[in-house]
Amino acid sequence: NTLIALSKAMPKTELHLHIEGTFEPEQMFAIAQRNQVALKYDSVEALIAAYQFTNLQDFLDLYYQGMSVLLHEEDFYDLTMAYLTKVHSENVVHVEIFFDPQGHLSRDVSFDVQIKGIYRALQDAKQQWGMTSKLIMSFLRHLSEESAFETLALAKPYLKWIDGVGLDSSELGHPPEKFLRVFQACKALGLKVTAHAGEEGPPEYVWQAIEDIGVDRIDHGNRALEDNNLICTIQQRNLTLTVCPLSNLKLCVVDDMKDHPITRMLALGLKATVNSDDPAYFGGYMNDNYASLIQHTGINLAQLYQLAKNGITGSWMTRAQQSVHL
C-alpha cells in the first residue's frame, strides 16, 4: 500500500504520549525482576491477555499497576530510551511527552529520580539522532488540587527541563475547573498548558479547558464535535487537537476505526494531529496509528500530509525550529 509507505516515510511529531504508557510487557517483567517487585501477572502472555478495556478506567487500573515497578533513575532512563529508539525508527523527529509524577510519588519514588532518568534519555536522543523534545508534567485529575500544587512545588528546581503541564487520568467527574488555580500558577511560571478533554468527558469540559484554563492545545477533543459553537471556537482560536486513533478504539471512545472522526475534524478545518497515547497498551506506535487510519478510513494523501504538518505547527517548537521540518 503506497499510502502506508508514504506515511512511514513522512517526518512526524508525537504530541500526545504518556511515557509510562510505552512500558512494553517484556521490559516491564525485566525491570520488575531486577527490582524484585512482584507483578500481578505471572507471564507476559497473561499480562497481555488483560489488555481488553471497555473504558478509560479499565485501562488506567492496569497502567498504574504497570508503572509501579519503576523505582530508580535507570528504570526511567531505560523506559524512555526504548520509546525514543522505537519512534526514531519510524521517522518521528520531535516528541512532546507526558510523565505522571504523582503516579510515582505515591510509591515514594522522588521527583528527582523520575525526571533525571527521563531527561537524560531525551538529551541522548538529541545527541545521537538530532531528535528534539519537550517534557510535559501532567497532573492526575482524580487527585486533589492540593496534591497538584505539591507536585508543582517539587518541580520548581527543574523548571528549565519542563516545557508545559497537562491534565490526565479519570476524566468523568474531574472537570478542568477543579485545577483552575494550579494552572494559573503554572502559567505565571511561563509553562505551556494542555489538558485531556472530551475523551470521555462532555463538551462542557472542553469549554472549561479553553475558556477557564486557557489551554494552548487540547488532548483528544473527540466530544467537541457534539457542540457546533465549540467547533467554531476551536477553529477561531486555531487550537491543535492531539488525536489518538488506536487509543480511541481500544478504550471504546470510537466503536469502529471506520467511524473515526479525524477526517471529519480535518474537513471542519480543525488542526487534528495523530498520536499514540499509550502505545504499549493500545496496539501500536505512531506508524501503526497512521496505518490503521489508512486501512479503515477513506483518508487520502493530502489529509495525511495535513495531519503530519499539523503535528509540526501544533508543536511547542519555535517557528524557526518548526520551519526545519516544513
Backbone angles phi, psi at 155, to 5 degrees: -80, -20
Nearer to ligand ES4 by Cβ, of 10 and 262: the residue is 262
20 binding Zn ion? (CB under 5 A): no
Active site residue 74: no
The residue (of 63 and 83) whose beta carbon lies closer to ligand ES4 is: 63
Does 75 engage in binding with Zn ion (CB under 5 A)?
Answer: no
Q: Is 56 in the site for ligand ES4 (CB under 6 A)?
A: yes
Other Cβ atoms less than 10 A from the Cβ of 48: the count is 14
The item of Zn ion, ligand ES4, none sharing an interface with residue 78, based on CB under 5 to 8 Å by kind, is none
Helices (H), the chain: 2-9, 25-35, 44-49, 56-67, 73-88, 102-105, 111-129, 145-155, 180-188, 203-207, 228-236, 245-250, 262-267, 279-282, 286-296, 301-313, 319-323
The answer to the question of whether 168 is labelled as a binding residue is: no
In the list ligand ES4, Zn ion, none, the entry touching 21 (Cβ below 5 to 8 angstroms by class) is: ligand ES4
Residue among 168, 224, 272, 285 that touches ligand ES4 (CB under 6 A): 168
Q: Does 96 bind ligand ES4 (CB under 6 A)?
A: no
Q: Are 133 and 95 in contact (CB under 8 A)?
A: yes
Across the strands, what pairs with 192? 164
**Among ligand ES4, Zn ion, none, partner that 199 touches (CB below 5 to 8 angstroms by kind):** ligand ES4
Rounded to whole angstroms, how far apart are CA atoms 291 and 293?
A: 5
Count the Cβ atoms, other than its own, within 10 Å of residue 102: 20
Is 14 a residue that touches ligand ES4 (CB under 6 A)? Answer: no
Which range in 82-90, 187-195, 224-232, 277-285 contacts Zn ion by CB under 5 A?
A: 277-285
* Amino acid (one-letter) located at 153: A
- Please, which residue, 32 or 251, has the CB nearer to Zn ion? 251
90 binds Zn ion, rule: CB under 5 A: no
Best CA proximity match to 195, nearest among 286, 187, 208: 208
- Judged by CB under 6 A, does residue 217 bind ligand ES4? no
Interface map 233-272 toward ligand ES4 (x if CB under 6 A)? --------------x-------------------------
How far lies 321's CA from each of 84, 99, 133, 173, 242, in Å? 19, 23, 11, 38, 20
Given the rule CB under 6 A, which residues bind ligand ES4? 18, 21, 56, 63, 168-169, 196, 199, 247, 277-278
Binding site for Zn ion (CB under 5 A): 277
Q: Which residues are catalytic?
A: 199
